Amino acid sequence: MTGDLIFSELKGKWALGAFGGAAMVVAGLTAFLYRHSADDLAVSVRAGLEERHQLPPEQLLVGRETLSSSLVERLRDVPAPTSGTLPADPSAGQCAVTVVHGAAGTGKTALALHAAHRVKEHYPDGQLYVDLRGGTATPRDSGEVLEVFLRNLGTAQEDIPRNVDDRSTRFRSLTNAMRLLIVLDNAHSTEQIQPLLPVGAGCSVLVTSRRNLSAGNITRRHPLKVELPAEDQALAILSAMRAESASPRNPARPWTSLSSVTGFRWPCASSAGRSTHERT
């Protein structure tokens, strides 16, 4: 249509010149839009992948070799995801849930993150992490967590359902065919984590809690209990902390608590720190 207009208004070489110029403008504009659309898409994809890979940096873990090996083996044992109709009852799903429980300060989070980092390549669709603040007076609301998870998985804000049940259903639908690892750290109760559980066979959920949340049918594997370290383990932890504090990466690392490195809270930590600094 543009060519017809040009040739109807202009004649001979003027028409040819104008038509060629218009064609070059259109081609240049098309290339510009294509290039920038591709760049925007690449940025969007990278942002989406970053939003799905949320594991915090792992902490130094000492004296937990048996528990760590068992947990890594469990998390690596993930079958291929299967798409299809969601089960009417979420508890009938095939997602594997493991609960790591123990008293405050025993190193549950350190253990969980240590294992999660070693199996993350088995979950190429992402690793979602949330601190549920179960040890505080204000645990996280399941609906708010689901809103964040749905955004991480690419759901537009206006498409996120209003109530918890509908959000949970949407979450299970989105993750049904994924290989996804979800770390629910510091969980408060079974009621809190129940809406956050996917049902797909390719998904695994790693829960840490001060309580044993294996009651009922939310878990498919036996829970792991983390206890305070034995004397030889405690000595190994102190030795590791001495090496860590002397590292050039941490020239003035305070020894206020063993939990700062290992997750353990041990009464002698402060005195151990003072003796170390006195010698320096």
Q: List, for residues 212-253, the tens digit of each pLDDT value.
A: 886 455 556 678 888 876 666 666 666 666 666 655 555 444
Q: What is the mean pLDDT of the chain?
A: 74
End-to-end CA distance of the chain: 84
User: Which pLDDT value is given to residue 11?
Assistant: 53
CA-based torsion, 91, 94, 97, 98: positive or negative? positive
| SS3 assignment, position 66 | helix
pTM assigned to the model? 0.69
Secondary structure element (H or E) that encloses residue 100, with its range: strand 96-101
Residue 174 has pLDDT above 80, yes or no: yes
Residue 32 has pLDDT above 90, yes or no: no
* 267: Cα separation from own chain's centroid: 32
For residue 129, the one-letter residue type is: Y
CB burial of residue 162 (10 Å; 0-12, 13-18, 19+): exposed
Q: Which of 117-131, 179-193, 229-243 has the weakest average pLDDT?
A: 229-243
Residue 274 has pLDDT above 90, yes or no: no
Q: Which pair of structure tokens corresponds to residue 164?
A: 């918890």
pLDDT band at 201 (very low <50, low <70, confident <90, very high): confident
